[in-house]
Structure 1
Amino acid sequence: MASPQCCANPPTLNPAGGEGKVVDSFGGIKAYVSGAAESKAAVVLVSDVFGFEAPNLRKMADKVASSGYFVVVPDFLHGDPFVRENTERPIEVWIKDHGAVVVELAKAHEIHAAVMCHPSLVTVDDMKEVKCPIAILGAEIDHMSPPEVVKQFEQVLSSKSEIGHFVKIFPGVEHGWTVRYKDDDAAAVKSAEEALADMIDWFNKNLK
């Protein structure tokens, strides 16, 4: 069951935002790209329910790109971001058309490293199948993946000695805090920047 937290603090979408550019087809999917194509490695950022036009997500993409990566933010929602005002399609209905992405890639030998920020629709059984180094950045106040569940994820990952992992729970923040913070909230910005630094550090350690 989706939680109201997963669609709280909706961003004002901006299709023209960011320092990068939008391409009509990247592997057959519309995408926002940032950074040099000849970078040392590529990073794919997956949006939350509000899609790839969210300003803070694109800001995150640009910052990851500035650390030496080619960053792609695909429109995995295919032009169908969640719209809270659409009462005929509440989150419980909308979510049926859009499943988890990052953990599925981590389970399929498709990527070299993964980072999940305030994960949704992820289970302990998913963690048992992870095949690449993975970092999980959780929120203290999260109904989708509360700290006790994130700690269960950590226990499973700790039993897989061949898989590197990093698990951190950020105090005082809610689900979605890494991309749905307000620019005038200094504490929220600081927490988001700390999470971004952890993400980039994880990539630097695991993407050779």
Structure 2
Amino acid sequence: MASSLCCSNPPNLSPASGEGTVVDDFGGIKAYIAGSINSKRAVILISDVYGFEAPNLRKIADKIAASGYFVVVPDFIHGDPFKLDDSTRPFPVWLQSHTTEKGFEEAKPVIAALKEKGVSSVGAAGYCWGAKVVTELAKAAEIQAAVLLHPSLVSVDDIKEVKCPIAILGAETDHLSPPELVKQYEAVLAEKSEVDYFVKIFPGVAHGWAVRYKADDESAVKSADEARTDMLEWFNKHLI
């Protein structure tokens, strides 16, 4: 997977962004949290390779929280986001230190911490790298609903093992999850009568559009807002 395809348009990270709070330990992980801790429904947002300090990601968390959810954005990459301009550590090397398998394992205590606080249903949404972590959670029946946004590293065989309702939001221009692959995901899900699914390919956008959009690009913001709305509707449907 080429970093130029996965990691273009890096965000300007801001540790102070968002209307929520950064806590040092939520299920053993530093995290950004938003919304009422008394909510019985929670959403975990799992970042792309740029991590949980991305302002757009936190805006999304805040807006989901405003709909009645308790939202957690864990720092699964431990303060070490990928740096596109760091020639000493190309993407494959960075990925060796930040495997999706590790993210999956670290997500389990986060889910346990939510349940300890009285949460009855947990959804998870992931962007690019994070989408693979969410897929693993869906395969393990750790969550009640999943959303993948411009996923990477997710195979057709992964989708065959998904055990909870899943929405997949793809981009028209995406060399990591091209429409042809997304349609293969959809064909697999169509054969799984026990799993509710929603698949959508957004026209005129490229990989990363749902979280790495530019705030001054009206068209990009509109597409990202549409993706967030689709995500929220999916969680509203499946998180009781």
TM-score with structure 2 setting the length: 0.85
Aligned to 1:189: 221
Which ranges of 4 or more aligned residues in structure 1 deviate by more than 4 Å? none
Aligned to 1:5: 5
Q: Tell me by how many angstroms 1:127 deviates.
A: 0.2
Structure 1 stretch displaced more, 97-106 or 189-198: 97-106
Aligned to 2:168: 136
SS at match of 2:46: coil
SS at match of 2:216: coil
Consecutive unaligned residues in structure 1, runs of 5 or more: none
**Aligned partners of 1:38, 1:54: CA distance in 2, in Å?**
26
Q: Tell me by how many angstroms 1:6 deviates.
A: 1.2
**Aligned partners of 2:92, 2:175: CA distance in 1, in Å?**
15
Paired letter, 1:97: S
Aligned to 1:32: 32
1:170 matched to 2:202? The reply is yes
Query: Percent of pairs identical after alignment?
Result: 70
Consecutive unaligned residues in structure 2, runs of 5 or more: 101-131
**Aligned partners of 1:174, 1:7: CA distance in 2, in Å?**
11
Structure 1 stretch displaced more, 146-155 or 99-108: 99-108
Aligned to 1:153: 185
SS at match of 1:37: coil
**Aligned partners of 2:146, 2:38: CA distance in 1, in Å?**
21
CA contact (8 A) 1:132 1:164 kept: yes
**Aligned partners of 2:97, 2:139: CA distance in 1, in Å?**
21
Residue-pair matches, total:
208
Q: Tell me by how many angstroms 1:79 deviates.
A: 1.4
**Aligned partners of 2:146, 2:230: CA distance in 1, in Å?**
12
Across the aligned residues of Structure 1 and Structure 2, the Cα RMSD in angstroms comes to 0.8
The CA deviation string for residues 14-54 of structure 1, in whole angstroms up to 9 with x for no partner, is: 00110000000000000000000011301000000100000
Aligned to 2:157: 125
**Aligned partners of 2:134, 2:82: CA distance in 1, in Å?**
18
Q: Tell me by how many angstroms 1:96 deviates.
A: 2.3
Aligned to 2:18: 18
The structure where helix makes up a greater share of residues is: 2
Q: Tell me by how many angstroms 1:2 deviates.
A: 3.6
**Aligned partners of 1:79, 1:19: CA distance in 2, in Å?**
20
The CA deviation string for residues 148-201 of structure 1, in whole angstroms up to 9 with x for no partner, is: 000000000110000000000000100000111111100000000000000000
Aligned to 2:76: 76
Aligned to 1:96: 96
1:116 matched to 2:155? The reply is no
**Aligned partners of 1:21, 1:191: CA distance in 2, in Å?**
27
CA contact (8 A) 1:40 1:68 kept: no
**Aligned partners of 2:173, 2:96: CA distance in 1, in Å?**
24
SS at match of 1:139: strand
**Aligned partners of 1:130, 1:143: CA distance in 2, in Å?**
23
CA contact (8 A) 1:35 1:68 kept: yes
Q: 1:66 to 1:77 in 2, by over 3 A?
A: same
Aligned to 2:58: 58
Aligned to 1:87: 87
**Aligned partners of 2:149, 2:40: CA distance in 1, in Å?**
23
CA contact (8 A) 1:3 1:144 kept: no
CA contact (8 A) 1:136 1:166 kept: yes
Q: Tell me by how many angstroms 1:93 deviates.
A: 1.5
TM-score with structure 1 setting the length: 0.98
Q: Tell me by how many angstroms 1:3 deviates.
A: 4.5
